[in-house]
Structure 1
Amino acid sequence: MESSSDYLWLAPEHIRDTSLAPTKEGDIYSFAIVCSEVITKKSAWDLENQDYDLDELVYKIKRGGRSPIRPQLETEDEHNSSLSLLVKDCWSEEVEMRPSCDQVKSLIKSMNHNKSSNLMDHVFNVLEQYASNLEDEVQARMKELTEEKKKSDILLYRMLPKQVAERLKMGQPVEPETFDCVTLFFSDVVSFTTLASRCTPLQVVNLLNDLYTLFDAIIDEHDVYKVETIGDGYLCVSGLPHRNGNEHAKEIAEMSFELLRAIGTFRIPHLPNEKINIRVGLHTGSVVTGVVGMTMPRYCLFGDAVNTASRMESNGKPGRVHISTDTMKFLTEVIGGYKTELRGEVIVKGKGALETHWLLTPEEQQQIFVE
């Protein structure tokens, strides 16, 4: 024998004594093992689904005993059921109890009294049925694969813009792209560090998950792309990856209003009396986009506009929308219909003194009107 796997079809008596000359009874045993493969449509002994390895199996076959180990034969087919009984006789541990070749041929003919008496015809019929079942199984697996692919694509499209993801999937490079005019949104939870100190790590995770789920639902209603979240910071942009003319400032402004309304009703489960508040900063300008990294690629924004939007947020006030002069001009002059309030000059890190404005929410406008 060249390897242990060759013992899978060898009769026990030949495994115990490898010097024993081949016998007809040993061939009948080997025939039974081959038939078991045809009946079960699995490899000999179906080792892939067993708790024991090859060497352990060979040891158990060699050991024999009153209840020797044999392949499992499970079949609901009446024809194969008769064949199974014959197979069990053929692999009997007692050599003299195994049927002869003539007896096997006679029994197989009796199983096929209304069909072809050729053993190979029966084998081919079984294999044909197996091929048909295999085709159905392949189709079922392909359907499952397609469904799983859809799920992975949905997840991928949430992490990267669809056109970027498609190019990466095809192994194509994603070239940096310049967008001359977009509006960026930055938000940050006020006093988040203090709030987090009153929570367990799990509660912090659940808090941010609930908060960002709320934000994501609102973003989905606007032509806005979520870039990333860093801790309690939230960055999104309108005007890319799909250019939308001058609508980007309007989309971000309306989204900001909805977020502030939603945050007013947001409650922390484990701190029911605590209210969440956010600062919001907006800026309109040009950016360059690109995909950074290979193992975990990220769609990133670059440019001074990103820094300015971040400064608008960090220099803002809770519950208010702090905007740059560029965004103010877009909302009041290009689009129209929005009200702003001059804040005056603000010392911005890395920028010096900048004139900034408050974007008035509909509620703030109503309050001014009443007063």
Structure 2
Amino acid sequence: MVLILLLNRSVADRLKAGLTVEPEFYDCVTIYFSDIVGFTVICSQLTPVQIINLLNDLYSCFDEIIGNYDVYKVETIGDAYMVVSGLPTRNGNEHASQIAKMSLALLRSVSNFTIRELSKEKLKLRIGLNSGPVCAGVVGLKMPRYCLFGDAVNTASRMESNGVEFKIHMSSSTTSILTKFYKFVIESRGVVDIKGKGLMETFWLLGEDQQSENPV
């Protein structure tokens, strides 16, 4: 049970069977990062136990939502939340739309989320998305983790950190997939100077075209 909680089920099953899990390369996946803007200020008003309760409430809500999509939660660190689609089971071009739809659902959920001890305080979610190649594998023995490596991960993190609260900030690679195969409401942010990346044109994901149909 613990392995399944820590790892994807297919990976956990291989480990339980005594089989090795070799690192695997994926041509293209879509990665989601989010965090709570002003989380440190919120924490300053709460006890450690209340902070744990807040994160448990929030991530229980998030975990229930992401169960509706073809995605895998990689990890949570404090208020940071990382999800990927397109691995360990490949899903064609679906990974971008699955993450996009999930992101919109998570953003909606936060608008209705209430902090037990701070009912008037609203959580400000900031989201970043990027698509690209990664290498994935299990790291560690006693507490194994399914980790992702590659520049695509770093870029997704930069999309989040350079984003704005209550918005979904996307790279051109994710935007390209969404506009080619699906219909979403997308707006150019313009050219942004991204640390470690230089100048990049980035985009806001504003919503989904409810009249669109998925491609066959």
What is the CA-CA distance between 1:170 and the residue it aligns to?
Answer: 2.3
1:353 aligns with 2:202: no
Greater RCO (Cα-Cα under 8 Å, separation 6 or more):
2
CA distance in 2, matches of 1:263, 1:293: 33
CA distance in 1, matches of 2:111, 2:206: 16
Identity %: 58
Structure 1 segment 1-16 matched on structure 2, within 5 A:
none
TM-score with structure 2 setting the length? 0.94
Letter in 1 for 2:192: V
1:339 aligns with 2:185: yes
Tell me the SS of whatever aligns to 1:237.
strand
Structure 1 segment 114-129 matched on structure 2, within 5 A:
none
1:192 aligns with 2:192: no
What is the CA-CA distance between 1:353 and the residue it aligns to?
Answer: 1.1
Structure 1 segment 104-183 matched on structure 2, within 5 A:
152=1, 155-183=2-30
Match of 2:125 among 278, 303, 325: 278
Structure 1 segment 243-262 matched on structure 2, within 5 A:
243-262=90-109
CA distance in 2, matches of 1:336, 1:244: 15
Choose 163-172 or 274-283, whichever is displaced more: 163-172
CA distance in 2, matches of 1:360, 1:245: 23
CA distance in 1, matches of 2:142, 2:107: 36
Aligned to 1:314: 161
**Is the CA contact (8 Å cut-off) linking 2:101 and 2:208 kept in structure 1?**
no
CA distance in 2, matches of 1:273, 1:252: 30
Structure 1 segment 190-229 matched on structure 2, within 5 A:
190-229=37-76
What is the CA-CA distance between 1:362 and the residue it aligns to?
Answer: 4.8
CA distance in 2, matches of 1:298, 1:337: 35
What is the CA-CA distance between 1:158 and the residue it aligns to?
Answer: 2.3
Max radius of gyration: which structure? 1
**Is the CA contact (8 Å cut-off) linking 2:70 and 2:98 kept in structure 1?**
yes
Letter in 1 for 2:179: T
Query: Which structure shows the higher helix fraction?
Result: 1
CA distance in 1, matches of 2:117, 2:171: 37
CA distance in 2, matches of 1:250, 1:234: 18
**Is the CA contact (8 Å cut-off) linking 2:183 and 2:208 kept in structure 1?**
no
Aligned length: 210
**Is the CA contact (8 Å cut-off) linking 1:344 and 1:357 kept in structure 2?**
yes
Mark the runs of 5 or more structure 1 residues left unpaired by the alignment. 1-151, 366-371
Tell me the SS of whatever aligns to 1:274.
coil
**Is the CA contact (8 Å cut-off) linking 1:286 and 1:303 kept in structure 2?**
yes
CA distance in 2, matches of 1:313, 1:176: 26
Aligned to 1:235: 82
Letter in 2 for 1:214: C
TM-score with structure 1 setting the length? 0.55
Q: Deviations over 1:27-62 (max 9, x none)?
A: xxxxxxxxxxxxxxxxxxxxxxxxxxxxxxxxxxxx
Query: Which structure shows the higher strand fraction?
Result: 2
Mark the runs of 5 or more structure 2 residues left unpaired by the alignment. 211-216
Tell me the SS of whatever aligns to 2:119.
strand
CA distance in 1, matches of 2:157, 2:171: 11
Letter in 2 for 1:314: S
1:269 aligns with 2:143: no
CA distance in 1, matches of 2:182, 2:98: 13
CA distance in 1, matches of 2:182, 2:119: 40
Q: Which portions of structure 1, spanning 4 or more consecutive aligned residues, are displaced by more than 2 angstroms?
A: none
Letter in 2 for 1:156: L
